[in-house]
Structure 1
Amino acid sequence: MNTNKELQQLNNRLDKCCRKLTAAKKRGDKEIIMQAQAEQEKLRKAVAVLKNQQGKEVSEKTEAIKSLPFNRELSKQEQADMGKLKKTVRGLVVVHPLTAAGRELGLSQVTGFAPKPF
């Protein structure tokens, strides 16, 4: 399964568990409180593992992008007709500054990375 979907499901389960814990504390049900706290801790660990895995995936992706020898910022016209640009430049990778890879690379503009000048 996709790590984003898996992370979302774990966060939903964690949120549900938190609400369950709050309700149990209001009732004073110690058994349910203990179960909810244990489940909550287990889910938090799983979320941390997935976030770490996501970080590694993004780092690997950015390293692969950095290894491409040529890069430059794309003009608004090139961005408007991305299909044509990608057909003319083989191996072009476009990185937006608001994506995880873009933030890690420290980009301020939409940038294209390619094995050859374009």
Structure 2
Amino acid sequence: MNLIQGETVTVIRTEKVLDELGEPAYGEDAREEVGNVVVAPGATADLDASRPEGVTVAYTLCFPKTYAGELKGCAVEVRGERFRVVGDPQRYTEANTPGAWNLTVEVTRTDG
């Protein structure tokens, strides 16, 4: 029995291609399910007084050592909602991660 239970999330990569004029265009989304991801809910924060309904929703995700993909520029679907990855997440060194997870990722979505 594990004390920490992960859940399944979906990593979404949007294919970037060039159109006939050489300008960036976006292709199909590639979806990859990843299991055993620890999801830690973050706080909501008001953006400012001019957008009282606008809030930022964030999670911190801990990906398992078995996940080898890169997450820069990706989106992640958590509990049925789509979030953008913040920055370029990097893995912890093996010596500093005795547990099953070594990649901490912040994701965010702004509503309103």
Q: What TM-score do you get using the length of structure 2 for normalisation? A: 0.25
- For normalisation by structure 1, the TM-score amounts to 0.24
Larger radius of gyration: 1
Higher strand share: 2
